[in-house]
Structures are given as C-alpha cells and as structure tokens.
C-alpha cells in the first residue's frame, strides 16, 4: 500500500517520461498536429510524431526485448550507461533511446500558446558574456542550427559545475548527456534539425524553418528546466 502511494506521488511530482522504462510508448504531446500552424505544418507534425518518433520507440523496444537486465532503465539512464550495454545492441540503443528521449523533450519545447521568455530567463541568458544579449544568443543558436551537417540537434544546456548556459549541437539522435558527467550538460531547449522536421513545408530552406520555430518555443518549459537544473 505504502509502495503504491509512493508510486502515485512520484507520478504527480515528475513528468511521466522521467520514470518510463521498457516497454516504452509514445506519450501524448498535449496539442493537435495542426496546433503549430502556420509555423510548423500539420502534415509534418503528424509524420514526425506517428512516423519517425513512433519508429524510435518501436525499435528501442525491439532491441531491449531479449535483454531483461536493461529493461528497468529509463532512456536517460540507458544513454549514460552505453558502455555497459552488450555491444550487439549498443549503437541501436544509443540511436533509438536518443530518438525517443530527444523527441519526447522536443514536443515539450513547443507550444501553440506562445509567451515571451520571462525577465529572469532573459537575464540569465544575457548574463553569459559570450551571448551578450538575448538577440546575440538567438543569432548564435541560429548559426549553430544552420551549421549542423546532415542530421542532428541544437541545444541550450546548463552546466552545473561552471554555472553557465551554453549552446551545443549533437549529431544523429545523440543527447547532450552522452559523454558528459551528470550535471555538465543539462538540456533546457532543443531544436530538431533533421530534414524530416521541416522538409514538407520548408524544403531545403532550414533557415526558414528555424525562423518559424522561434514562434512556437515553449519558454515556460525552458524556464522549468532551468529552475530544476539550478537545484
Ligand atoms: Mn525528429
């Protein structure tokens, strides 16, 4: 009984996905495919979620099916213990646990009800000398996003040890926590720059997708992540 109550309490306190383990499932995004129009189109949102994201989930479950020892771990846990996984499934778990983790996070970075970032968050970003201003941060983020060669992601992260916000890019479906100590690269905001995220509407014009994307960023979620990172 106590155990059950404890589990219910955990569910209320943390986002669902933090506790998720095998068998993984596609979690609700909380808005419709068309909700981000005209910035991100309905068709792209539908295929990206039900097609691409769902495939990462399916493949991840497939990889872990015959490895019960690793079925109790969340995606984040799997991504920080890749060297402990059997070699046979290591790359596939990196790609598909990364794909599931990144997309679940990405959907939460988006909102149909756009609100400007809070003064506190703007101040934190402007406090980083290399950004200089909020505009400076956006320009650097845009540059990083345009420079990703092939498929990958752009992130705003927080480093607990240095107390710094910074931009990083990752190839493929890599998450910033791979190859970093816990707390060294905590994701606050993510932008998916795989072509599947924009090709239907923006074709080869990644820059136009990035511009549109700023109009649907969920700054409340970014701030929530920042506050947690500061704890
Ligand atoms: Mn994607």
pLDDT per residue as tens digits for the range 115-159? 999 999 999 999 999 999 999 999 999 999 999 999 999 999 999
Distance 41 CA to ligand 1 centre (A): 14
What global pTM score does this model have?
0.92
Q: Which CATH architecture has domain 119-230?
A: 3-Layer(bab) Sandwich (3.55)
Q: What is the pLDDT of residues 3-30, one digit of tens each?
A: 444 444 444 444 555 679 999 999 999 9
Q: Per-domain residue ranges for the chain?
A: 119-230
The pLDDT of 80-101, averaged and rounded, is: 97
Q: 194 CA distance to ligand 1 centroid (A)?
A: 6
Express each pLDDT in 148-195 by its tens digit. 999 999 999 999 999 999 999 999 999 999 989 999 999 999 999 999
Is 90 exceeded by the pLDDT of residue 2? no
Task: Return the pLDDT at 18.
Answer: 60
Tell me the CA–centroid distance for residue 197 and ligand 1, in Å: 5
Task: Output phi, psi for 61, to 5 deg.
Answer: -60, -40
Q: How many angstroms is it from 94 CA to the middle of ligand 1?
A: 15
Q: Is 166 helix (H, G, I), strand (E, B) or coil?
A: strand
Which positions ≥6 away from 44 have C-beta within 8 Å? Answer: 196, 197, 198, 199, 200, 201
Alpha helices in the chain (DSSP H): 2-13, 42-46, 54-64, 75-79, 87-108, 119-126, 134-147, 199-202, 206-213, 219-230
Ligand 1: centre distance to CA 51 (Å):
10
Q: Which residues surround ligand 1, an ion (CB under 5 A)?
A: 192, 194, 197
Number of H helices, E strands in the chain: 10, 3
Question: Ligand 1 centre from 26 Cα, in Å?
Answer: 14
Ligand 1 centroid vs 117 CA: distance in angstroms?
24
CB 102, CB 17: distance < 8 Å: no
């Amino acid at each position: 009984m106590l155990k059950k109550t404890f589990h219910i309490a955990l569910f209320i306190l943390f986002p669902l996905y933090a506790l998720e383990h095998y068998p993984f499932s596609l979690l609700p995004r909380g808005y419709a495919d068309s909700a981000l129009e005209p910035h991100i189109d309905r068709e792209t949102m539908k295929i990206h979620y039900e097609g691409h994201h769902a495939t990462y989930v399916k493949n991840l479950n497939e990889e872990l099916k015959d490895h019960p020892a690793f079925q109790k771990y969340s995606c984040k846990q799997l991504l920080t213990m890749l060297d402990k996984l059997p070699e046979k499934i290591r790359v596939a778990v990196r790609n598909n646990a990364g794909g599931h983790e990144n997309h679940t996070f990405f959907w939460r970075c988006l909102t149909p009800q756009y609100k400007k970032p809070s003064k506190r968050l703007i101040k934190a970003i402007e406090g980083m000398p290399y950004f200089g201003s909020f505009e400076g941060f956006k320009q650097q983020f845009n540059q990083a996003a345009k420079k990703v060669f092939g498929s990958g992601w752009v992130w705003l992260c927080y480093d607990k040890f240095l107390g710094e916000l910074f931009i990083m890019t990752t190839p493929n479906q890599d998450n910033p926590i791979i190859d970093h100590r816990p707390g060294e690269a905590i994701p606050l905001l993510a932008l998916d720059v795989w072509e599947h995220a924009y090709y239907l509407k923006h074709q080869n014009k990644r820059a136009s997708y990035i511009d549109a994307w700023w109009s649907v960023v969920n700054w409340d979620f970014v701030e929530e992540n920042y506050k947690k990172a500061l704890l």
